[in-house]
Structure 1
Amino acid sequence: MKAEDPQTDAKAPRTARGERTRRAILDAAAAEFGEKGFHEGSISGITRRAGCALGSFYTYFDTKDAVFRALVTDMSAQVRDYVGPRIAAAPDQISAEREGLLSFLEFARAHKEIYRIIDEAEFVDQAAYRSHYETTVDRITRRLRAAADRGEVRDDITEVHAWAIMGMNVFLGLRYGVWDESETPVEVARIANDMLARGIAP
């Protein structure tokens, strides 16, 4: 019997081939749910997009709900893995926040389905929805507090600051990553970062 991921009820693959199949199913689920939504999307639609048999789906996921939960967790991890290295390479925390937003805007433009999937998670799986945002805020809070210890940002940083930064990034990603691409990610990140560094006081 395959080990299960306690967060998603998904069964972990034991071989490289199994991992490729599971990856193909998750990518196909992103396309299926991103295009049709959770309720209209189907397991048969996912397996058709993945080019695999129905039995292969049930090797790793018991239900449509299970693959959706796994997908929310997977998309959160994809964002983290795409954004994280650029944040880590920045010379200071203010620059790191600019790089974080810039790379998130790039990710959102390449994966527009993320917004529909995460938004639907609020109604399909409240725990996965909350976890997506709470784990993101936890990462931001930890890096801001570390930066405060280094003297790179104000020393009264709290979780409220982290939620504010994440909220800004989420809605800028929606506006300039999904709805409209007329403004360059570099310029959006520059303006937002200037506000973050200096506020909006005259």
Structure 2
Amino acid sequence: MAQPLSRVERRKQETRREILDTALACFGERGYHATGISDIAKRVGIAQGTFYLYFQSKHDIAEQVLDDLMARLSAALTELPPEAPATLSDYRAQAGRITDTLTRVFSDDPRAARFLLLQAAAIDDEMAERVLGFYDSAAALQSSYLQHGVDAGYFRADLDVEAAARAVNGMLLAAAMYQLRDPAPDAFERLTRTVREIIYHGLAGETSRHDARDGA
């Protein structure tokens, strides 16, 4: 059984979290490159030297913000196994549950979402590669869902699953970007619901389309 954290350790974790949150706020307001470590430290109310007890650099913070958000998104995408849906109706239900989880991730921390979607890739080539690598991983996972649908017969047999996965993910990312402009609670859900409808009726085989219309 893990020992409870001491008061000092709890305070260290709180300070680290406060520095991360403040850095993210500064990045959103001023941009990554225009934000200095002194800006972050001043807003937190700590000496600049104290900053280096928690993070090596501003880039270190950016990496950890990105890691945290990508981990949460990956957990949402892998919450349910790709091989679970046996029918298009099952796939619809599973896609809805995954989308609900993604919505919570973006809604819980819209600043982190803005950082991922608009800022991180522009920091430097290394960060751009990490963002693109995440997109590649998400597309590979989406491909496995679609390939299972092809194998199970509820998606078209001639479906190019790799291209379809990238197209679907592109639409979902666009929906997330639109949410940055329109943070209304139902805005992202409406967009992702429409994306799912495009999938159901554009990717499904003839039998599945009849089943969907019949309410199967």
Structure 2 residue corresponding to 1:199, chosen from 196, 202, 209 = 202
**How far apart in 2 are the matches of 1:130 and 1:44?**
28
> CA shift at 1:198, angstroms?
1.0
Residue identity matched to 1:56: T
What percent identity do the matched residue pairs reach? 23
Structure 2 residue corresponding to 1:38, chosen from 28, 32, 35 = 32
> Is the contact between residue 120 and residue 131 of structure 2 (CA under 8 Å) also seen in structure 1?
no
**How far apart in 1 are the matches of 2:201 and 2:63?**
39
The answer on 1:126 being equivalent to 2:125 is: yes
The answer on 1:108 being equivalent to 2:106 is: yes
> CA shift at 1:33, angstroms?
0.5
> Structure 1, unaligned stretches of length 5 or more?
1-14
Pick closer, same or farther for the CA change 1:72–1:186 going to 2, 3 Å.
Answer: closer
**Equivalent residue runs for 1:12-161 within 5 Å:** 17-81=11-75, 83-84=76-77, 87-88=79-80, 92-118=90-116, 119-142=118-141, 144-145=143-144, 148-149=147-148, 151=152, 154=155, 158-161=161-164
The answer on 1:179 being equivalent to 2:181 is: yes
> Is the contact between residue 37 and residue 117 of structure 1 (CA under 8 Å) also seen in structure 2?
no
Pick closer, same or farther for the CA change 1:75–1:47 going to 2, 3 Å.
Answer: farther
Pick closer, same or farther for the CA change 1:41–1:161 going to 2, 3 Å.
Answer: same
**How far apart in 2 are the matches of 1:61 and 1:137?**
28
**How far apart in 2 are the matches of 1:38 and 1:106?**
25
Residue identity matched to 2:106: A
**How far apart in 2 are the matches of 1:33 and 1:46?**
10
Pick closer, same or farther for the CA change 1:138–1:41 going to 2, 3 Å.
Answer: same
Tell me the equivalent position of 2:4: none
- SS of residue paired to 2:19: helix
> Is the contact between residue 93 and residue 152 of structure 1 (CA under 8 Å) also seen in structure 2?
no
> CA shift at 1:132, angstroms?
2.5
**How far apart in 1 are the matches of 2:154 and 2:20?**
38
The answer on 1:169 being equivalent to 2:183 is: no
Pick closer, same or farther for the CA change 1:199–1:146 going to 2, 3 Å.
Answer: closer
Pick closer, same or farther for the CA change 1:152–1:24 going to 2, 3 Å.
Answer: farther
Residue identity matched to 1:99: R
- SS of residue paired to 2:31: helix
**How far apart in 1 are the matches of 2:136 and 2:177?**
18
**How far apart in 2 are the matches of 1:55 and 1:153?**
59
> Is the contact between residue 24 and residue 50 of structure 1 (CA under 8 Å) also seen in structure 2?
yes
> Is the contact between residue 109 and residue 178 of structure 1 (CA under 8 Å) also seen in structure 2?
no
Number of residue pairs matched by the alignment: 185
- SS of residue paired to 1:107: helix
> CA shift at 1:79, angstroms?
3.2
Tell me the equivalent position of 2:5: none
TM-score by length of 1: 0.70
